[in-house]
Amino acid sequence: MISIGVIGYGYWGPNLVRNFADTHNAKLVAVADLEPRRLEVVQRRYPAVSTTTRFQDLLADPAVDAVAIATPVATHFELGMAVLKAGKHLWLEKPMAETSLQARKLVDEAAERQLTLYVDHTFIYTGAIRTMGEIIRSGDLGRVYYYDSIRVNLGLFQRDVSVISDLAVHDFAILDYFLGEHPTAVSASGINHFPGTPENLAFITLFYDSGTIAHTNVSWLAPVKVRQVLIGGSKKMITYDDLELSEKVKVYDKGVSFTDDPAKIHEMRVGYRTGDMWAPKLDTTEALAVGCGHFVDCIEKGTSPETDGRMGMRIVELIEAATSSMRGRGETVYVQSKGQ
């Protein structure tokens, strides 16, 4: 049984607390938040769980084996490092840190102490993403030509991070999982419509050595919520609408082929294929429940999480590259990942 403490009970923390409370082989023992008002809610819902406004209490408690951090990004490094130095396994919310240097230090500290470091890129544990990952990695889609995503809504404006850290981070993680390849260059444009606040809208393009191109359009300033992705492969194509209740993922046997037969040089050399469409059955287990179970499993078996610190670090590198490109009005930023 792994005993879990959670730091941060704001918007996302309650989801972690609820899922850890239900996780087999885990025991939720303590929650810390700076706001006593939030802790009262914990006490009402989970009377057996101890609460504190001092996160240090969790670190000093020998009964706590692992700590999950769901506080603002600016606090992740300091709190995460303190958790590792206290000899406890660490769950960090996405993005794992503000800079890739901080991410690297967390990865090294966890490795040195042989502690599990899990980064909560939640989408990776959804039935939709796992099924699409299987289709792509099995080769069924063929060569991935492009990934095109729109992730917009009238979003919660963040004070400390831009829309890239908040929303594009999901596409970066999904692409990392699908392609197993790190982009080599990034170009991004974005804007803050309200002076003194982080960018609330961005268009980001990622270039890969294999020829794949990926684009994501992220915004907190859209009248409607859209979460749609198109993926084009040389054999098949996928549409993914995360807001669809059923049939979120559709696989189309559609595509084009070109002939380079010199005898047909004057003819239209493109052939179109329009075959069937099918919607795979998806696992509907809550992604966080899968993630919490995986975290506990990794601690027990000493294995590395699918979304480990290195993956978290690659994503922070992309946030840095995209942000730097955006501040340079779309100039190309070349990426050399240290998180491989």
Ligand X SMILES: NC(=O)c1ccc[n+]([C@@H]2O[C@H](COP(=O)([O-])OP(=O)(O)OC[C@H]3O[C@@H](n4cnc5c(N)ncnc54)[C@H](O)[C@@H]3O)[C@@H](O)[C@H]2O)c1
Residue closer to ligand X, measured from CB, 10 or 139:
10
Assess 330 for contact with ligand X (CB under 6 A).
no
251/133 Cα distance (integer angstroms)? 12
Q: Which residues contact 138 (CB under 8 A, 6 or more apart)?
A: none
183/314 Cα distance (integer angstroms)? 10
Give residue for tokens 């009377």.
Answer: 47
308/295 Cα distance (integer angstroms)? 10
Assess 41 for contact with ligand X (CB under 6 A).
no
84/116 Cα distance (integer angstroms)? 9
Segment interacting with ligand X, rule: CB under 6 A, options 65-73, 138-146, 198-206, 214-222: 65-73
Kindly state the smallest distance separating residue 268's Cβ from ligand X, in Å: 46
Assess 96 for contact with ligand X (CB under 6 A).
no
By CB under 6 A, name the one of 3, 5, 8, 219 that touches ligand X.
Answer: 8
By CB under 6 A, name the one of 120, 171, 176, 320 that touches ligand X.
Answer: 120
CA geometry: angle 247, 252, 254, nearest 5 deg: 165
* Contact (CB, 8 A) for 96 and 80: yes
Assess 10 for contact with ligand X (CB under 6 A).
yes
Smallest Cα–Cα separation from 179: which of 18, 340, 2? 340
Assess 35 for contact with ligand X (CB under 6 A).
yes
Kindly state the smallest distance separating residue 227's Cβ from ligand X, in Å: 12
Q: What residues pair up with 188 in beta bridges, in sequence order?
A: 204
CB atoms within 10 A of CB 289: 17
Kindly state the smallest distance separating residue 73's Cβ from ligand X, in Å: 5
| Interactions with ligand X, residue window 70-89 (CB under 6 A) | 70-73, 75
By CB under 6 A, name the one of 21, 34, 222, 230 that touches ligand X.
Answer: 34
By CB under 6 A, name the one of 61, 93, 109, 320 that touches ligand X.
Answer: 93
Assess 103 for contact with ligand X (CB under 6 A).
no
Residue closer to ligand X, measured from CB, 34 or 185:
34
Assess 33 for contact with ligand X (CB under 6 A).
yes
By CB under 6 A, name the one of 17, 19, 38, 89 that touches ligand X.
Answer: 38
Assess 12 for contact with ligand X (CB under 6 A).
yes
* Contact (CB, 8 A) for 99 and 338: no
> For residue 332, what are its two tokens?
């190309």
324/18 Cα distance (integer angstroms)? 37
Residue closer to ligand X, measured from CB, 209 or 283:
283
CB atoms within 10 A of CB 78: 13
Kindly state the smallest distance separating residue 22's Cβ from ligand X, in Å: 17
Residue closer to ligand X, measured from CB, 168 or 251:
168
Residue number of the CB atom closest to ligand X: 10
Q: Which residues contact 123 (CB under 8 A, 6 or more apart)?
A: 129, 170, 173, 174, 287
Which chain residues interact with ligand X by CB under 6 A?
7-13, 32-35, 38, 55, 70-73, 75, 93-94, 120, 122
